[in-house]
Amino acid sequence: MIWASLLAAAASPPPLDQEALVRQALAKVPAIAATRLATQAQQQRVEAARGGYWPAVTLNAGLSRTTNASNAQTTATPFDLATGGVGVHQELYNFGRTDAQVEAAQATLAASTSQELLAGVEVAHQARRAYVGWVQALGLEDQAGEQRKAAERVSAQAQAFFRAGARAKLDVTRAKVAVEQAKAAEVGAHTAVEQANAELATAVGAPGPLVGQPDFAPVPPVGKLERKDLAALADAHPQLLAANARLAQARAALATAEATGKPDLGADGTYGVRARDWEGAPNWQIGLSASWLVFNGGALQRTIDAARLQERSVQQDFESQRQAVQLAVSKAHLGVKGAAAKLPAVAAALASAKENVYQAEGRYKAGVGSIIEVSDAEGLLAVAEGDQVRATGAYHLAIADLIAALGMTGVQP
């Protein structure tokens, strides 16, 4: 007995946890890796922008044969001229332009990070929907198998009655038709399972078909929250974080444009050697420099005006995005409530359909009912069982949609 139990346990497929598959998707799907690498690249650009705070050091060297002793003097005899030196430039003050450039790079980094979060939300959403689709397809396959078995039982009963002379040949023929139809439905249901498995494997980054026994996951806490509680969670949606990052980018662009029209103050120093026929003489220079863009045909003012308008546009876009997120959360919440409200009704319909089949088969076996009654009752049961599987799947799909509408992956980091 123990060995039989062990063998049965070994033969049964292992359970497949939805959340584990979602984590696998977040770790393996290429879209996540692509956005993560883009974020890392932008982090390097932030560090590059910070380089503006440091001195710029240049090295130079040259070797030539010339007759120019200086800019104003030449010689009749060519000579070798070697030069070498180092130059340093330090930006002292530019009215915050470097700060604005760093802030712009940081805002772009924030936007890239938000895109990475959004990619995670989408990948997790697709994995959940594919998982629920697979569970639903398996449920419908089981239901189709039960319908085939029921049709075969009725067919066997009809043949027994026919051999006993209690029923007409028509009952046998009709029962065989029902069996073949049930077999065809079972084949179609199995194909749907294989297709759902393939879709889930792609969604989670698996190299091939998944093997295991899935089941509907427990309802997460967000599935039980009220609308007012969900609104606060939606404020952290990556879509809003991205919109806020675009606003920071626009403000940094405006600050950069305004600073461009103001003076730059810097310090410069050079040290070098000029050698004629390899006899060198060192030279050096140190000083301050200033530059100021006074006029460029009005292009600078147009750039500033455009940056201000862009900032106002992005502010309006942020409000639009906020409204869109709140609307999506409201619709998803209503979807969860509607799907949950439907479950008791389909459960009651299924119970009635089972009772109807029980009565129809009893009447047929007693010789007072017709096979048409049995076929109709089996058909109603098939619809009721399918409705329950689909209604349960719709409820879990609504939960997945709500998690995505909140901008969440639904898994702990």
What is the pLDDT, as a whole number, of residue 160? 87
Q: How far is CA 254 from CA 53, 79, 312, 316, in A?
A: 20, 54, 11, 17
Q: Of the candidates 94, 91, 89, which has an alpha carbon nearest to the alpha carbon of residue 285?
A: 89
In the predicted model, what is the mean pLDDT of residues 343-367? Answer: 91
Domain spans in the chain, listed from the N-terminal domain onward: 36-63+96-266+298-405
User: Which of 77-81, 98-102, 187-191 is predicted least confidently?
Assistant: 77-81
Read off the pLDDT of residues 295-344 as tens digits, 9 standing for 90 and up. Answer: 888 898 999 999 999 999 999 999 999 999 999 999 999 999 999 999 99
Q: Find tokens 């009952």 and name the residue.
A: 171
Confidence grade of residue 4 (pLDDT, cut at 50, 70, 90)? very low
Read off the pLDDT of residues 215-243 as tens digits, 9 standing for 90 and up. Answer: 888 888 888 888 888 888 888 899 999 99
Q: Of the candidates 59, 60, 70, 195, which has an alpha carbon nearest to the alpha carbon of residue 134?
A: 195
Residue 13 phi/psi, 5-degree rounding, is -70, 150
Q: Of the candidates 117, 119, 131, which has an alpha carbon nearest to the alpha carbon of residue 206?
A: 131
369 pLDDT higher than 90: no
Confidence grade of residue 72 (pLDDT, cut at 50, 70, 90)? low
What is the pLDDT, as a whole number, of residue 282? 84
DSSP assignment of 229-295 equals HHHHHHTT-HHHHHHHHHHHHHHHHHHHHHHHTS-EEEEEEEEEEEEETTEEEEEEEEEEEEE----
Angle between helices 18-28 and 30-50 (to 10 degrees): 50
What DSSP character marks residue 208? S
Read off the pLDDT of residues 15-64 as tens digits, 9 standing for 90 and up. Answer: 788 999 999 999 999 999 999 999 999 999 999 999 999 999 999 998 88
Q: Token pair of 269, please? A: 């120093």
State whether residue 211 is helix, strand or coil.
Answer: coil
Give the count of beta carbons closer than 10 Å to the beta carbon of residue 127. Answer: 28
CATH number for domain 36-63+96-266+298-405, candidates 3.40.50.12640, 1.10.3720.10, 1.10.287.110, 1.20.1600.10: 1.20.1600.10
Helix (H) or strand (E) holding 87: strand 73-93
Task: Give the C-alpha separation, 125 to 221, whole Å.
Answer: 17
10 pLDDT higher than 50: no
What length does the chain have?
413
What is the pLDDT, as a whole number, of residue 7? 39
270 pLDDT higher than 80: yes
What is the pLDDT, as a whole number, of residue 371? 83
Count Cα atoms within 13 angstroms, Cβ side, for 375.
16
Q: How far is CA 124 from CA 190, 204, 343, in A?
A: 26, 9, 25
